[in-house]
Amino acid sequence: MARELIDVALARARVLAEARPLAPERVELADALGRVLAEDVASDLDLPPFDASAMDGFATRAGAAEALEVVGESRAGHPAEGSLGSGQAIRISTGAVVPEGAEAVVPVELTESVAAVAGARERVSVPAREPGTHLRRAGEDVRAGDAVLGAGTRLGPAEVAVLASLGRARVECGARPRVAVIVTGDELVEPAAALGPGQIRDSNAYALAAQADRAGALIVSRAIVRDELEATVLALAQAIEAADLVCVSGGVSVGPHDHVKAAFARLGVQERFWGVALKPGKPTWFGTLGSTLVFGLPGNPVSAMVTFHLFARLALERLAGVPAPPAERAVARLERAVPREARRDQALRCRLESRADGWHALPTGPQGSHILTSMLHADALALVPAGEGELAAGERVELELLR
C-alpha cells in the first residue's frame, strides 16, 4: 500500500514543533555577525550623547547676517571651553560638541573671513541662520531607556554597529547548532578522487554542509558511508552523539540497499514523518532522538538541497534562537507555463527579474532532480501548487527566496 504523503506546510510545522532553542552563550561583539540575539537590548544613554555639529563650520547664535568674533574651537573629542556670547562664533568640526549658548552651525563654505585689526581675534562674516540649523540633537537617534533590539534578531552589520554604539562589547546570543552530514552510497567518492566504474563524485555532503554553514551552523562532521547496515548504524550513532542536527542524504527509500530507515529504527530515532507531497523531495524523512533532530534527505542532489532549504534550515533557525523563523517569501509572475503535478507541489528553481510590472520568475532550465546545475543562478524556489492542467505563463506564483 502506498504511504500517505503530508503537505509541505504540515511537514514544516512538525519540524518546528520538535526544535528547541539551544542554551545561549556570551559572544564577543566582533564575533557576533550572523548570530541570533538572545536578549532584549535597551539603551542606557541618549544617542548622540550630546548636541553635535553636522558640518565643519562655525557655531553661532541664531539671527541676522553679521560679522562675528571667533573665540575658540570645538574639535571632535575636544570640546571648546566656556560658553558662546553675543557677537561671537566658535570654529567647529563635524561631530564635535556644540558649545553652550550656540543655536546653529554655519558651514564654513558659507562664511567669509573679515579683515581684523592687528592683534585682534579672527572675525568671520556669516549669513542669517535659523535655530537648529546643522545641529544633531542629543537623543535624536535613540533615547535612554528605548528598546533597540529584541531577542530573536539575526545580527547583521547594522545591528552590530548599533550594539557597538551602545557600548555592548559582549552580547548574549543563541548557540551555533552543531550539524553532522552523512551521505550514503557505494558509488560516491571524494571530489579529488579518480572515478572508477560506476562511481560519481560526492556533491551532496559539500552542498548540505555549505547550506548549514550559511544558516549559521557549525559543521562537526562530514562523512561518506557505504551501503551496509552496520556501517550506517555506526556512522549515525556517532553523528547523533556529536550534533544537534543530523542530515543523512540517500538511503531513505525502500530499495534493498537503502539502510538508513533500518538504522534509525535500530538506534531508536522516532519517526515524525516520512514522505512529503513535494517534487523534488518526496522521500524526505524526519525524526528525533532525545533533543537531536534527524533528517533523512533524498540522494538526488537537487532534492537534497531543496529539502534542506525547506525543512532543515528552518530547524537550524529555531535551534539558534529565532522564535518564529520567517518564511522568506515573495510573489512573482511565472515567465512560462508549467505543467502541474496532480498530487504534489513543485519547487521550481527560478531566476528573478525585476520589471515594470513587478518580479518575474524564469525557470533555470530543465528541472530534473539530478540536474544540479539547475541550482546555479537560482534566486528562489517557485512553489507551484498541486493540481490538474498547468499554471499558465503570467500567473502569479509564491516564491521562497534562496538568496
* Grid cell at residue 76: 571632535
What pLDDT shows up at residue 1? 46
Cα(369)–Cα(363) distance, integer angstroms? 14
What pLDDT shows up at residue 119? 67
Which residue range is the domain that position 119 belongs to?
52-136
For residue 104, tell me if it sits in a domain. yes
For residue 369, tell me if it sits in a domain. yes
For residue 333, tell me if it sits in a domain. yes
Residue 65 sits in the same domain as residue 99: yes
Residue 235 sits in the same domain as residue 222: yes
Residue 95 sits in the same domain as residue 162: no
Residue 95 sits in the same domain as residue 216: no
What pLDDT shows up at residue 205? 97
For residue 215, tell me if it sits in a domain. yes
Nearest to 220, CA basis, from 177, 271, 156: 177
Q: In the chain, which stretches have pLDDT less than 50?
A: 1
Q: Report the amino acid identity of residue 194.
A: A
Residue 34: which CATH number? 3.90.105.10
Residue 39 sits in the same domain as residue 81: no
319 Cβ contact partners less than 8 Å away, ≥ 6 residues apart: 19, 20, 21, 22, 174, 175, 177, 244, 245, 293
What pLDDT shows up at residue 324? 77
What pLDDT shows up at residue 183? 97
For residue 388, tell me if it sits in a domain. yes
What pLDDT shows up at residue 401? 94
For residue 3, tell me if it sits in a domain. no
Residue 167 sits in the same domain as residue 307: no
Cα(307)–Cα(210) distance, integer angstroms? 14
Q: Terminus-to-terminus CA distance in the chain, angstroms?
A: 40
Residue 306 sits in the same domain as residue 358: no
The last residue of one of the domains, among 110, 136, 162, is 136
Q: Cell 552510497 belongs to which residue?
A: 185
Residue 195 sits in the same domain as residue 304: yes
Residue 230 sits in the same domain as residue 354: no
For residue 147, tell me if it sits in a domain. no
Residue 350 sits in the same domain as residue 299: no
Looking at the structure of the chain, the number of domains it has is 4
What pLDDT shows up at residue 255? 74
What pLDDT shows up at residue 251? 86
Residue 114 sits in the same domain as residue 246: no
What pTM, to 2 d.p., does this model score?
A: 0.90
For residue 112, tell me if it sits in a domain. yes
What pLDDT shows up at residue 162? 98
Residue 89 sits in the same domain as residue 14: no
Helix (H, G, I), strand (E, B) or coil at 14: helix
